[in-house]
């Protein structure tokens, strides 16, 4: 018994007319008769009562029609779902991210996914105790946005865009974009920064910047959480230097003063991950990053 035979049976059970059914199913009437006869012989039951003028379902035929019709619909739904999985339009993806992309870039990425891949489930992870690379290699996330390129050879990184660093000060601080000259002028200020002893590309970039300005910052408070740093700056507890994209979600009582130095945003994933879902998301991320690199997503 083949699935196509069941389809022929159900079509005939609906039409109750061999010629109309054959035309609908794009086969000859004799071929349809042979398929129905073969199905009856395999099942050992009569499915239709035939006469010169009409075709009528037997009781066994009615029973099979009522059982097979929902099964056939379920099979069709299953096949459609399988195609969506194959095309990367259904499933899930877990994305790790730093706080600096939580207000502008990442919401735009998730918005594009929602619009173009509405059946894709997205899990967002902001690491606390584990590194992005560790989470990727342990299959706890599928994609990471990060400020550092990947070091592990099993991972692949791509730079998405570059953005300026900003000096972040309380609203009524004396430094403004207009009178700013050098970070060296702020050597007496208390800074709130990520721990500068960390061996990451991002922290190395910060340290290099401070060396360029000839400044050893007086780090009063250490934190790796941008939202916390912004809150502390807003309370007048110090000043900070962070990527400018934090301005998108910053409290109103802080000011961002753009610096000439830039920081990159990378996306990183497992090299051997051939998931169609990941492929689709990477393509969407490329499009969002293109907008951001052209300044369309970073109006601050």
- Kindly state whether residues 151 and 266 are assigned to the same domain: yes
pLDDT (tens digit, 9 = 90+) per residue, 138-195? 999 999 999 888 989 999 999 999 999 999 999 999 999 999 999 999 999 999 998 8
- Kindly state whether residues 38 and 153 are assigned to the same domain: no
pLDDT of residue 299: 45
Mean pLDDT over each residue of the chain, to the nearest integer: 90
pLDDT (tens digit, 9 = 90+) per residue, 3-32? 898 999 899 999 998 889 899 999 999 999
- Kindly state whether residues 68 and 97 are assigned to the same domain: no
pLDDT of residue 248: 87
Q: Considering the domain boundaries, does residue 167 fall inside one?
A: yes
pLDDT of residue 292: 77
Q: Considering the domain boundaries, does residue 270 fall inside one?
A: yes
pLDDT at 81 over 60: yes
CATH at residue 9 = 1.10.10.10
- Kindly state whether residues 64 and 118 are assigned to the same domain: no
pLDDT, average across residues 276-299? 82
Of 87, 108, 139, the last residue of a domain is 87
- Kindly state whether residues 57 and 99 are assigned to the same domain: no
- Kindly state whether residues 247 and 175 are assigned to the same domain: yes
- Kindly state whether residues 202 and 122 are assigned to the same domain: yes
Of 57, 87, 117, the last residue of a domain is 87
Q: How far apart are CA 225 and CA 229, in angstroms?
A: 6
- Kindly state whether residues 169 and 289 are assigned to the same domain: yes
pLDDT, average across residues 241-259? 92
Q: In terms of Cα–Cα distance, which of 37, 51, 6, 269 is closest to 154?
A: 269
pLDDT at 295 over 70: no
- Kindly state whether residues 219 and 80 are assigned to the same domain: no
- Kindly state whether residues 96 and 83 are assigned to the same domain: no
Q: Which of 66-75, 122-131, 242-251 has the lowest mean pLDDT?
A: 122-131
pTM of the model as a whole: 0.73
Q: In terms of Cα–Cα distance, which of 294, 293, 284, 299 is closest to 108?
A: 284
pLDDT (tens digit, 9 = 90+) per residue, 92-147? 999 999 888 888 899 999 999 999 999 999 999 988 666 899 999 999 999 999 98
Total number of domains constituting the chain: 2
- Kindly state whether residues 100 and 52 are assigned to the same domain: no
- Kindly state whether residues 75 and 167 are assigned to the same domain: no
Of 66, 87, 108, the last residue of a domain is 87
Q: How far apart are CA 281 and CA 112, in angstroms?
A: 9
Q: Considering the domain boundaries, does residue 298 fall inside one?
A: no
Question: Could you tell me how far CA 235 lies from the centroid of its own chain?
Answer: 35
pLDDT, average across residues 257-270? 94
**Backbone dihedral region for residue 28 (phi beyond 0: left; psi -120 to 50: alpha; all else: beta):** beta
Which residue range is the domain that position 40 belongs to? 3-87
CB 190 within 8 A of CB 235: no
CATH at residue 275 = 3.40.190.290
- Label the pairing between strands 190-193 and 143-146: unpaired
Q: Considering the domain boundaries, does residue 299 fall inside one?
A: no
């Amino acid at each position: 018994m083949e699935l196509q035979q069941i389809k022929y049976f159900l079509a005939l059970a609906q039409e109750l007319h061999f010629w109309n059914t054959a035309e609908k199913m794009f086969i000859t009437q004799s071929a349809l008769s042979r398929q129905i006869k073969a199905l009856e012989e395999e099942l050992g039951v009569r499915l239709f009562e035939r006469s010169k003028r009409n075709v009528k379902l037997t009781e066994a035929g009615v029973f099979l029609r009522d059982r097979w019709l929902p099964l056939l619909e379920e099979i069709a739904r299953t096949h459609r779902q399988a195609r969506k999985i194959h095309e990367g339009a259904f499933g899930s993806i877990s994305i790790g991210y730093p706080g600096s992309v939580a207000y502008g870039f990442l919401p735009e990425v998730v918005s594009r996914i929602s619009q173009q891949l509405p059946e894709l489930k997205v899990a967002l992870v902001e690491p606390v105790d584990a590194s992005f690379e560790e989470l990727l290699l342990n299959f706890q996330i599928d994609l990471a946005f990060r400020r550092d390129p990947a070091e592990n050879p099993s991972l692949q990184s791509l730079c998405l865009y570059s953005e300026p660093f900003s000096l972040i000060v309380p609203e009524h601080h004396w430094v403004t974009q207009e009178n700013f000259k050098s970070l060296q002028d702020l050597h007496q200020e208390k800074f709130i920064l990520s721990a500068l002893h960390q061996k990451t590309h991002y922290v190395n970039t910060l340290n290099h910047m401070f060396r360029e300005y000839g400044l050893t910052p007086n780090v009063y408070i250490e934190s790796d959480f941008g939202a916390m740093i912004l809150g502390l700056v807003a309370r007048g507890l110090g000043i900070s230097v962070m990527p400018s994209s934090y301005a998108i979600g910053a409290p109103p009582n802080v000011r961002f003063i753009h610096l000439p130095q830039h920081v990159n945003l990378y996306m990183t994933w497992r090299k051997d991950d051939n998931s169609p879902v990941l492929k689709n998301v990477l393509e969407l991320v490329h499009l969002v990053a293109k907008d951001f690199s052209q300044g369309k997503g970073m109006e601050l």
